[in-house]
Amino acid sequence: MRWASAGLPLDRRYEVDEFVAEGGFGVVYRGRLLPWKEPVAIKVCKLDPAEDETLRPESHSHFLTEAAIVAKLTHPAIVRVRDFGVSPMPDGQDAPWLVFDWVSGRTLADDLDERWNDPPRAPWEVLELMRPVLRALAMAHAQGIAHRDIKPANLMLMARAGGNDEVPVRVLDSGCRRCSNSTSAASRPG
């Protein structure tokens, strides 16, 4: 599902620059908000090839509903969802997408890999890193939303430019789902 080359538009508002990463549910690109060229992260959700094409409009509807909920989450430790939609991809199929603020840094997973042979972090350092994440998750849970994909690869360690008020880590990805007792497609694990 990757774009063949950079510079392709998405929904006439964004331009795809380069491939960043691919996960189980989507492909992330660095892109730009047009016409200002502001950097953004664009996540295009993967289509399930086993899914009956007649069910795709229902899946897209669930996606749009959940994206609207997640876009309302505002916390300094959560990367903001700026936009979302369903648009035709270069292969001609419609696919859901999300646009996030672009954040620079390295993931906690990369950091842990690099520190493999180093002594573990001091407890105060772990607390400093995780406190904003826990506060962000508590805020989301208070609104009935669970992330459901918290892992080191979805936590971005920020390069600190100075000042103690800066959040040292941000929660990435939109693994968020509305909490529900239902087992509908929108609330099943995965």
Domain containing residue 79: 9-101
d(CA 66, CA 190): 14
Q: Which of 48, 149, 165, 173 is catalytic?
A: 149
Regarding whether 87 and 21 lie in a shared domain, the answer is: yes
Could you tell me which residues are beta bridge partners of residue 41?
A: 30, 100
For the chain, count helices (H), then strands (E).
3, 11
The question of whether 118 is a catalytic residue gets the answer no
User: Is residue 189's pLDDT more than 70?
Assistant: no
Q: For the chain, how many structural domains are there in total?
A: 2
pTM over 0.75: yes
| Average pLDDT score over residue span 131-138 | 95
**pLDDT: which is higher, 59 or 183:** 59
Q: Mind listing the pLDDT tens digit for each residue in 72-109?
A: 889 999 999 999 998 888 777 888 899 999 999 999 99
* Mean of pLDDT over the chain: 81
DSSP per residue over 33-63, as a string?
ETTTTEEEEEEEEPP-TTS-GGGHHHHHHHH
Closest CA to 146 of 70, 46, 63: 70
End position of a domain, from candidates 81, 101, 121: 101
| pLDDT in the model for residue 186 | 38
Top pLDDT among 186 and 116 is at 116
Taking only the tens place, the pLDDT of each residue in 135-145 is 999 999 998 88
The CATH number of residue 84's host domain is 3.30.200.20
Q: Is 48 a residue whose pLDDT tops 70?
A: no
Residue 125 corresponds to which tokens in the numbers above? Answer: 């350092």
Q: Which residues contact 26 (CB under 8 A, 6 or more apart)?
A: 43, 44, 45, 46
